[in-house]
Amino acid sequence: MGAPGVGKTHLAIDADYEAIQNGYTALFYSMNEIIDDMVIANHQGNFTQFLKTLLKKDLLVIDEMGFLPLKPEHSSLFFQLINEFYEFR
């Protein structure tokens, strides 16, 4: 968290890059992108499989959290994502 333009996104991308360079699996998402992908997976009936795919990664970076308000459906899906990671690890 911090003011715009201080390099938060750059650090997040670098963390993903370093993880990959060191043999880990990593994904980088903006909050909007991951919400869009979760909504699509949910509507297609693939949400559980989508979560399982994410859980296989060693690192998941979600950038731009808190910039836009979430609809209740989006909040619920995001909570499920965080809960799965919490219980999985």
Give the model confidence (pLDDT) of 5-64 as tens digits. Answer: 787 889 989 999 999 999 999 999 999 999 999 999 999 999 999 999 999 999 999 998
pTM here is: 0.84
Around Cβ 64, how many Cβ atoms within 10 Å? 15
Domain 8-88 part of CATH 3.40.50.2300: no
State both tokens at 24. Answer: 């880990």
Crossing angle, helix 72-88 and helix 47-55, to 10 degrees?
40
Q: What is the dihedral angle through the alpha carbons of 83, 52, 75, 89, rounded to the nearest 10 degrees?
A: 20
pLDDT digits (tens, 9 = 90+) for 58-84: 999 999 887 778 899 999 999 999 999
